[in-house]
Amino acid sequence: MTRPARIEYEGAFYHVMNRGNRREEIFIDDNDRWRFYEILGNIEKRYGIIIYVFVLMSNHYHIMLETPFANLSRVIQRLNGDYALYFSRRHRRPGHIFQGRYRAMLVEKDAYLLELSRYIHLNPVRAGITKTPEGYKWSSLPIYYKGKPKLPFKLHWKWILSIFGERKSIATMRYLEFVYNGIGEKKNPGDEAIGGWILGTEKWVEGAIERWEDFSSEELSGVKPIKRMISVVEMEKLVCREFQVRESDLKSATYNNRARMAIIYLTVNYCGLTLKEAGQRYEGTSYFAVGKAVSRFRDRLSEDHELNKKIKWILSNVQM
């Protein structure tokens, strides 16, 4: 399985999350949490990142940040590396502290910052740690609400609060009300992300992808395709046979059924087609829509036993 793409450019905005190895605790006590703050402060000064929202849970963290200098990989590698070194020494725990590679979702700031900030600030409520999100000490919400505690890094709260009014006192209460309105809501804004790692409107996503020269379908899907070893034509014939449709139906934008979604999913993941190529072949489908279709179809496979069986039959009958 290939690693998801890391699209980096000046001014990119991300939701970063990392979890403890085997979901074990990465923050044992307040000393650990404060040391994480200090390391984050050092990185902010060194790499010039802009921090908007964060929460530290016992076994994971969330941070919403902006990278004016297109350096996300260096930032998070340094953050995780320095903290892991500290944690291992203090608690005498050799081995990996974090569970694999961190997750970084590229986000359209103007469209999704508010929803994501609410989702992050409600983490302690969903975990049953607190009933009042502003009462959880180790998140950015108390700083939005009361201006405390003082941190070893600058928290850029003004951008979010400015959306709710010019006067800080009024804006703060309105934002807090906005956060509370999300309690009980199970929806995660990140569920709308293409492939789980890029979240935005269609036009914005297209522009972000164009910035990344090495972007490819396997980076989106998270599945390494068998490079051109499976013929697209052969795959289409097998799909038509299993779903009992015509080849022309697969390429018609007006023919939107399981067979059409299946061929898009299969040619992207197993025939090596890029999103753009798949969109052109199955006319009327932008690569934004192809990305969405691939993600939705993969989710559906885990729930639909009959559909899963059909795809397995197709893959078992391709000529490798």
pLDDT of residue 285: 62
The yes-or-no verdict on residue 62 having pLDDT over 80 is yes
Shared domain for 64 and 170, answered yes or no, is: yes
Q: Are 121 and 39 in contact (CB under 8 A)?
A: no
- Top-ranked range on mean pLDDT: pick from 3-12, 24-33, 294-303: 24-33
What are the beta bridge partners of residue 60?
19
What number is the average pLDDT over the span 300-305?
83
**Intra-chain end-to-end CA distance of the chain, in Å:** 19
Q: Are residues 190 and 112 in the same domain?
A: yes
Least reliable range by pLDDT among 110-114, 172-176, 316-320: 316-320
Are both 228 and 171 inside the same structural domain?
no
Is 37 a domain residue?
yes
Q: Is residue 253 located within the same domain as residue 153?
A: no
- Domain range for 141 is 12-202
Same structural domain for residues 143 and 274?
Answer: no
The SS3 of residue 200 is coil
Find the CATH number of the domain harbouring 134. Answer: 3.30.70.1290
Question: What CATH number is associated with residue 239?
Answer: 1.10.1750.10
- Which burial class, exposed, middle or buried, applies to 198 when counting CB atoms under 10 A from its CB (0-12, 13-18, 19+)? buried
What total of structural domains would you count in the chain? Answer: 2
> Is there a single domain that holds both residue 183 and residue 229?
no
pTM: 0.69
The mean of the pLDDT values for the chain is 85
Among the candidates 178, 202, 226, a domain finishes at: 202
Same domain, 197 and 223: no
- Assess contact for 295 and 194: CB atoms under 8 A: yes
287 shares a domain with 176: no
- Which of 84-88, 179-183, 279-283, 287-291 is predicted least confidently? 287-291
Of the three residues 174, 202, 230, the one that is the final residue of a domain is: 202
Same domain, 174 and 118: yes
In a domain, 6, yes or no: no
- Same domain? 142 vs 226: no
78 located within any domain = yes
For residue 264, being part of any structural domain is answered with yes
Any domain includes 208: no
Let me know whether 198 and 222 are in one domain. Answer: no
